[in-house]
Structures are given as structure tokens and as C-alpha cells.
Chains A and B, each alone.
Chain A
Amino acid sequence: MFSNFFYICKAKGLNITLSEWLTLQEALDKGLCESSLTQFYYLARMILVKSETDFDKFDMAFEEAFKGIASENEISKNMMKWLDKSELIDMVDEEERYRMNEQDGIQFIDKDEVEAKFKERLRDQDSEHNGGSFWIGSMGKTAFGNMGGFMGGIRVGGKTGYQSAFQVIGARKYRDFRDDRMLDNRQFQLAFRKLRQFSTKLDIPKTELDIDGTIDKTCNNGGCLQIVMDKPRKNAVKLLLLMDSGGTMIPFSTLLNELFQAVHKSNHYKDVKTYYFHNCIYSKLYKTPECENGDWIDTDWMFRNLGSDYKVIVVGDAAMAPEELYSTSGNYRGPNGGLSGWEWLQLLKRHYKKVVWLNPKMAPGHAPWREAETAIKGLFPMYKLTVDGLNQAMIKLMLNK
């Protein structure tokens, strides 16, 4: 059933496997969706989508599959029909509904009015730079919350428009650093070896049998067994790599490629996370070097979820125009999140104890004409992206002060 939906989901970039699909079929077979489109939407989502960041993609796929209408800035007739879902509305007491609408400051009038508001909302969203698509429905989460958060309901929606409005014109030329080209990056790898902190020095439970210690103690104990435990010896360093991608960094892609591979070959870290940014760090970090809109995480999310013990390496040429660094609307291809790039960098510095900046084209000595670079040098220790610079940076990351 609905196998075209499966392919649409795949096409939207949702990584759905056959086994999950079969689970959905099983659920349908058991009648868990109770012949309701709303239930089917939630059922399909809870089985097929495993991350809230993918909800957006799923919404788009769902819309495409079951409405067959492209989701431009236009609302379809279908949506109006859904918003009108009378059986749901009937569940709310008439009076109650008016009361809630009054609270929200919206009068429940007629379709046209609702439609107008909806368009207004879509327009507003364009200018607010919201990342994902925002659904309008009877859920109480939007201004159209007729039914209140807990009635359940259909969410109908559209793509955010800003992608087209803010798209940089011209061909994109980003290269994937992960090209599996074999490069001799042994020297880089050696530099990364320096980033090691053995867990034996940390405050963790002793869980490994220390054989030598046990033999010694037992002998001293006159042959009566006495067991000695020790802390396991593992590298406890967690690494966060933030890489500038595209634009002025293109000439250095081979170099970055080597660096990237070196980090990933040094698989002795406890955890390595890599995110990409374009020019400067703003409210979103991209998951791939292509820096596609939508394929991103919130920078706030990173602060919340990757603790201050991560060691951070930022790779970038720090060649922002002053307004790209200091203006709260300086991000020309994505959202700013209300803060300027400079403020985001300061948040980064405040959050992580150890941050270094590697710059492939750093000016030797003092270069006041490179305004952004000079400013960032004041914020983070900056090193040139060479084997030597990398070595120094690694030492800096490991030093306590």
C-alpha cells in the first residue's frame, strides 16, 4: 500500500528502510490508524521517522504523496477542507471554542479570513528566517489553534519560502572533503596523536583487573588471593571540528581534505563531531560540506548537547566582510538567529574551554587590514594550517592553561 509514499520519502532524503516500511504495513494491517488520515500521519511518522529534525522532511513527503500538489506559498483547497474538519470541531464545545479564540485574539470567522491570516503567517515566516516548515493546523500550536494542543489534529503546511528569497545566486561549488582520495597525511595524523588524555588520569571507576598488581599483592599476602583493579586506559578526548566550506575556502579544499581524513583516521578519540559553516558561525551549523539549507543543526543545540569538555578546532579563513561578522543580518545565505556572527563566536568561546582556530591563509604577523581575522585572533588562538601550526594548535588544546 502507498508504495509511492515510500519512494517520495526516500527522495526527500529520509533514510527509511524496508523493515520500517513493513512495520508500518503491519500497523495498518492491525488497524492502528483507524481509517483516519490524521492517525495515519502520526502512525507513519512515529514508525518511519526517528529524529525530530527529520519531521520537516517527512511533512513535505507526506504532503506530496497525499495531496499531489507542490507546496509553494499557496494554500490548496485541500488544506481548507482539512482545517474545516467538522468532526473534530464538533468535539469542542461551541462556547469553549469561542472563548479560546478570543484568548488567542483571533475571531473565528470564515474561510477567507482564515486563509488571509494563513498567508500573512507564511509571509511573516519568510522574514523571520525560521528554519523548518511550520504547520498550520488545528493543534493549538499556531495562531490557528482552534482546537487546543491536546485534541490532536491535522497539520497542513508548506515549505518555508526563505530558501528562494535568500538563496545565493550563482552556481554552487562546494566540494565534499570526504572524497576518499588517498593522500599521504601521515604528518597530520601524527599531530593529532598529540591529542590524547588517558582515562587513567581521570576520576572514573576501576573496572579492569590489574594482573601484575594482583600477583604482587597476592604474593605479599602469603599466597592468599588479593585482587587489584585499575582504571581502563582509553583516550578520553572528545573533539569537535567546525569547518568553513565553500566560497573563499575552495582553493584549500585539498588541504582540508587531508585534515579531515587525518582526524577520521585517528580513530582513538572518544568522540568526534564535525559540522560545517559558511563564512562565519551563525545560528545553524550544517551537517555536510555542501551547506544545504535544512540539512543543519541549531548552534544552540550543539551548545546544549556537546559539553564544554569537547575540544574545538575551527577551520576557516576568517575572511568575513565586517558586516558579515558584526551585523545581526550578516548571514547572507541562512538565518542569523538574532545575533551577529561575532556574538555567536563569543558564545562559542564562552561555552567551550578549549578552542583553536586553524587558518589556511593566515597573514604572517600583524595584519590590521584583515579586520575580521585580526578580531578573531583576539578571541581564539589562531594558527596557520600547516603541519607545524597544527602541532602547535594541538599542544594548545592539551595544555591546561
Chain B
Amino acid sequence: MKAPSPEPPVEAAPDVPAETEVSSSDGAADGTSVRGRSLGRIAWERLKSDRLALTGGIVVLLLVVVALLAPVLTGIVGQDPETHHEDLINPLFGTPTGSLGGISGDHLLGVEPVNGRDIFARILYGARISLLVGFLSAVVAVVLGTVLGILAGFFGGWVDTVISRVMDGLLAFPQLLFIIALVSVMPNDMLGLTGSSVRVFVMILVIGFFGWPYIGRVVRGQALSLRTREYVEAARSLGAGRRHILFKELLPNLVAPIIVYTTMMIPTNILTEAALSFLGVGVKPPTASWGQMLSRAIDYYDSDPMYMVVPGTAIFVTVLAFNLLGDGVRDALDPKGSR
């Protein structure tokens, strides 16, 4: 016998088809009409009462807005991420003059060592890379994982065997190693893209590719158990085709676990992007990225500690916000939850 597979931390399995959940607690007893609430609505109401998750969600929204408006916001303070301000640098040590890494009215978060680029502007532009790679690689992973997971769970047989083996294999791979290897052999320009946009594109694909088995495994497990449920049997006996069963019966019931895993995958992907940039295989300078700032900060951890604190905090706050939101979404969509 095979050892039991690890229990995934979340098991969001809406056992009932969406939109049939009836709240029996309110209304029914005192004779008023029974009000049906959709799963989405229940989840939203639960999420609204979860202060931590709500805080995380607001921070995420703020980050998205800040990233989108990066050129406007840096324009307001009159800075941009690539202008050098060598006059603010102590020529002897290469560190910013002035206290706390050169924080001033002009440079809200100080300037970088050696070249004196404005850190505030670089953080805002770095947010764009982090969020872009984090979101889009999650999309790649979700699409691949959902499609292949459903196929494996629904069709079974050799389809399932092949897809499951591939997933096991990918999960057993030393991932970061392969991502580094893949990103580093990619050419500097391809498909009409050049410079950092190639790296961003490659990172999205590669991180997404290594992420799909996590979602695929969950979707497969769910599809496997859902396909023998009565309502699927009922649909089948009514003459529903494969397409109908896949898209109208199975998919709606897989939405909850997919949403949960997506929200939990985004912060992981953001961390991977930062790690790649930190290791020097991510976006190329002068494009700003948080991980890359931290890797430069290694040389200045003693002489200019502010330089590492700012991008480190940016990564921390972003990932924390997504994690809080993810935990909240998981609790809200968990049918076993009792709130």
C-alpha cells in the first residue's frame, strides 16, 4: 500500500453544489421564507468579519494601486528610479551622507549606496515587478493545475497515471535549482522582448510551471471524489455529455479550493521572484526589484543598514498581507468552518 499522502493544510471541499446551501438558522423557524445564500455570499460575510484578513486585503489593494500608480506617485515627489545622485554619497565609503541612509524631504526612504538612486522610487517600481510576477505566475500555475488536475481526476486510467507521475516528479525536483538553471540559460532577447522584460516573462512561465502540481494535486483529488457523487451521476443519467459534466458540474465545485490555493500561492511566488533577483538571475539592473536591492545590501549591512531594511520590509509587508488574506479566504471558504 502506498503511504497516505500528506494532508494538505487546507481542505476546502464544498460538498454541496453551489447556490443550494440554505441557511436554516435564520428565517425558517419564525415562518418567514427560507432565504438561500450562495457559497460566495457566505464566504464574503465570513471574510468581512475577519479583521486580520480584511487588513491583509486592504494592504494588498493598496499595494496594487501603488504599483499601478508608481510613475504618478514618484512624479509627485519629483523622483525617478534611475537618476543617480552622486552628490549625496560619501565618496570615501560609498554610503549615503546624512543619517538613516540619506532620508530627507526629497528622498523619503533615502538613497542607494554608490550611485544614490532614490530608494522610494525604486521600491514603488519594484512593487510592479513583484506583483506582476506573483500574480501572473499564479495564473499560469492555476490554469495548468486546474486543467491537468481535472483531466487526471475525471478520466482516471492512464491519463491519471501519467499526470500524477509528472506531478510527483516535479514536486520531488529541487525546484529553486531548476528555476535558476532555466532562467540563466534563457537568451537575453526573444519573442521581440529585450532586457528585463525577457526575464520577467521567463520568470512568470518558469515559476508558474513549477507551481502547478500543488494546485493540480488538490484539484485531482477533489475531481476524483466529486465525479462519483450523486449529482454527477444524476446529470450523467439525464444524458449530460462530458463537456457539461466537466464545466457545469465539476468546475463550479472546484472553485473554492482553487481560490484558496491561488491566494496562498501568490506570496510564495513573490518570495521566489525576490529570491531569484537576490541571486542575480531575476530582472536585470537598472530595473528596480526588491530582491536585487537586498542582494546589493549584503555589502552594506554594517555601514548602511537602512538599505536592507527598506526592501526587506517591503517584501515582508507584501507577503504578510497576502498570507493574512489567504488564511482568511481559506477559513471563509471552508465548509467545515463554524462561524
Whether chain B is bound by chain A comes out as no
